[in-house]
Structure 1
């Protein structure tokens, strides 16, 4: 079996809007009430997928979830007239950020030799807490082969779990046994610490990973308070490399030492706060990047244009590239519509190490399939959604029809 890393990006849904529902997410708060552009957003996301496919990487996708979600409102005895935020939650397209869909442990790390996926309950935020049942349904379609995959329901809601956005894996290569790093929060100042330690420990047990090769690390409360609501806003790992801000972890030296003890070949690239402040890192989403192993064997960093255009961040990146370090390429992409809601390139993807042949092929992309999706988006996705349009019955029908057109085009009748 040939194991490779596959990035599954979420197709940005036709109800993409800026309702400012995510407490602690600075971009979401700053753009609350602005007009969104769902068609442009989805096309930007597809362009990023095409970019990674052109690099020679295997690329997958996950589908938008059904929205507006009337079942969410019914479950709380509401129709949306009581509170505009409840109505907006039912319209949220936040499932596009698949880094929060699940936590993934590849087969080389697990006791039964299967890849394990546990859907994230996302209970801290109401607009996200409704996602996981539909996410599990989709994951069980994509990873249905019981010889190679085990898909778990979300852990109990008393333990908040935010998925892969608070989980990192390091290894000599993707197909080798690795170490798994679960990052949790205890305090976030004025903002909630979304990832609970016990949720992380529950996922590790469910996946059957070796406790001796598992780390549980506290996120720096200062980072959470500054707007790093997930660890992937301040750190990202790939194979032997950890790329991190100096202030990402509560005990950075202890964290680095524990990683090196388990993976002696680990290379830790630390961005000092003196060069890029925590505020600049969060504003630019420098670390919410895809750190990828390219077919050549070198590592590349896919960053948002906002990071490339930020003077201090750009200066640090230029110095890094000149230093002959482990990250040899930096590739900016335009995902501005996602960024305006607090989601960079890393938010949009879930990393799964697996043999592509074991996955439902409908979820894997090629150029022809991207073109088909783009055609549906161009024809059916709304060009814009203003804050006053959320709840409009005619727009709701258009959003539902747009998603149905995508499902029909991609032969996903069972996910209607």
Structure 2
């Protein structure tokens, strides 16, 4: 089966702010209350998309969700006109107002878990929206995320969209940020790696373990995956408590290559053994482990070395790591990357991109994209308005420059005109994407 990987990036919304709502996300906590620049954030994200498009990759996006989330504020007991609801929330519960304005859906690695047709029993591409139940501000996303997925992947002949898992701690699911697919080539049958932080019913000390094994197993069953080609691996508590709130902060994989930190998994030897067994007859696993002696866990998390995109680039024989500029600016990770590409391993080049606005809230290049392996027929069957070309990126950037603020502090969310600004901006973006039904 011939297929390619399409990256669907999150289009950063006009309410991008540093609310500090994410326990266990060190960057979010460290920058809480700072002034953000939504305009710059969205332009940076679109430029990253343009870079990959110009490299010859197929690039899509998911639109920002409606903000503020008035349904959430009404469920919290506020009532009246939109203006009155904002006034009440700002005066009585400013944290809930920050939740309602959260732009965290920009990190589409958390939007859903994807299994391509080559892996599934019914040979359709399966998508399960993540419930994101651990964090309040993210738990409100899945209804609107599901609506976006249905608008884009609505052809039942090619796609199967599953609703989010039950909103209970035992089913806590954070989407593709805890999922890696390995294979010989994108269109070939592969091995799907699900990484979890705790068992159902288990309590853990320290920062919250956001993904359960039960959630991963439930998604694998729903997608019709072969048990022989599926691995469930436990993330190390050391990594979680150091700030790796998702596996993609310490691990990334592409094709037959798994790039990970020595402290990523609870049992590294067992992890590799399980993956090699699952890959038997399909491909030879190429593990690239970064030792703690060369890059400390602290440096890996601060720089987001592993929250990079690992890509098959047209015309290049080795994989390309698209990393945040923070990796280049951190001595240990820059030195490691120089050694990495100078060897003859599977990763041949590192390209640095500026996504500082996202990074300051705890999301690097890998957080900003949802990987979807698609055949040409599936690409033709999905909504074409979200597949980018340079002209469409230009149009989106023009709207961002016109409608997004270049300064936003958490207290600015109480500005009664801001809700209208967000609505106007989103409607204009949806018009370019031909997704007016989501307005």
TM-score by length of 1: 0.98
Deviation track 1:60-80 (CA, whole Å, cap 9, x = no partner) reads 000000001111111121442
1:256 aligns with 2:279: no
Deviation track 1:288-336 (CA, whole Å, cap 9, x = no partner) reads 0000011124210000000111111111111111111100010000000
1:386 aligns with 2:409: yes
Deviation track 1:214-238 (CA, whole Å, cap 9, x = no partner) reads 1110000000000000000000010
Match of 2:223 among 207, 224, 239: 207
| Separation of aligned partners in 2, 1:412 and 1:217 | 38
Per the TM alignment, residue 2 of structure 1 is displaced from its structure 2 partner at its CA by 3.8
| Separation of aligned partners in 2, 1:323 and 1:5 | 26
Q: Is the 8 A contact 2:385 2:432 kept in 1?
A: no
Match of 1:309 among 324, 329, 348: 329
- Please, which runs of 5 or more residues in structure 1 have no aligned partner? none
Q: Is the 8 A contact 2:98 2:410 kept in 1?
A: no
Q: Is the 8 A contact 1:166 1:182 kept in 2?
A: yes
| Separation of aligned partners in 2, 1:209 and 1:262 | 12
Instruction: Tell me the equivalent position of 1:266.
Output: 285
Instruction: Tell me the equivalent position of 2:22.
Output: 22
Match of 1:145 among 151, 155, 158: 155
Task: Name the SS of the counterpart of 2:260 in structure 1.
Answer: strand
Instruction: Tell me the equivalent position of 2:3.
Output: 3
Instruction: Tell me the equivalent position of 1:320.
Output: 340
Task: Name the SS of the counterpart of 2:231 in structure 1.
Answer: strand
Q: Is the 8 A contact 1:165 1:230 kept in 2?
A: yes
Per the TM alignment, residue 188 of structure 1 is displaced from its structure 2 partner at its CA by 5.5
Aligned residues: 416
Task: Name the SS of the counterpart of 2:92 in structure 1.
Answer: coil
Per the TM alignment, residue 202 of structure 1 is displaced from its structure 2 partner at its CA by 0.6
| Separation of aligned partners in 2, 1:360 and 1:403 | 18
Instruction: Tell me the equivalent position of 1:75.
Output: 75
Instruction: Tell me the equivalent position of 2:131.
Output: 121
Instruction: Tell me the equivalent position of 2:112.
Output: 102
Instruction: Output the aligned Cα RMSD.
Output: 1.1
Instruction: Tell me the equivalent position of 2:306.
Output: 287
Per the TM alignment, residue 412 of structure 1 is displaced from its structure 2 partner at its CA by 1.7
Instruction: Tell me the equivalent position of 1:407.
Output: 430
1:190 aligns with 2:206: yes
Match of 1:93 among 88, 103, 110: 103
Match of 1:363 among 386, 393, 397: 386
| Separation of aligned partners in 2, 1:108 and 1:266 | 18
| Separation of aligned partners in 2, 1:367 and 1:74 | 40
Q: Is the 8 A contact 2:229 2:279 kept in 1?
A: no
- Please, which runs of 5 or more residues in structure 2 have no aligned partner? 79-87
Q: Is the 8 A contact 1:18 1:28 kept in 2?
A: yes
1:166 aligns with 2:178: yes
Task: Name the SS of the counterpart of 2:400 in structure 1.
Answer: helix
| Separation of aligned partners in 2, 1:411 and 1:185 | 39
Q: Is the 8 A contact 1:189 1:222 kept in 2?
A: no
Deviation track 1:71-122 (CA, whole Å, cap 9, x = no partner) reads 1111121442332211100000000000000000000000000010000000
Instruction: Tell me the equivalent position of 2:81.
Output: none
| Separation of aligned partners in 1, 2:343 and 2:130 | 38
Deviation track 1:141-199 (CA, whole Å, cap 9, x = no partner) reads 11111111100100111111000000111000110000101000026632100001111
Task: Name the SS of the counterpart of 2:186 in structure 1.
Answer: coil
Instruction: Tell me the equivalent position of 1:46.
Output: 46
Task: Name the SS of the counterpart of 2:207 in structure 1.
Answer: coil
Instruction: Tell me the equivalent position of 2:192.
Output: 180
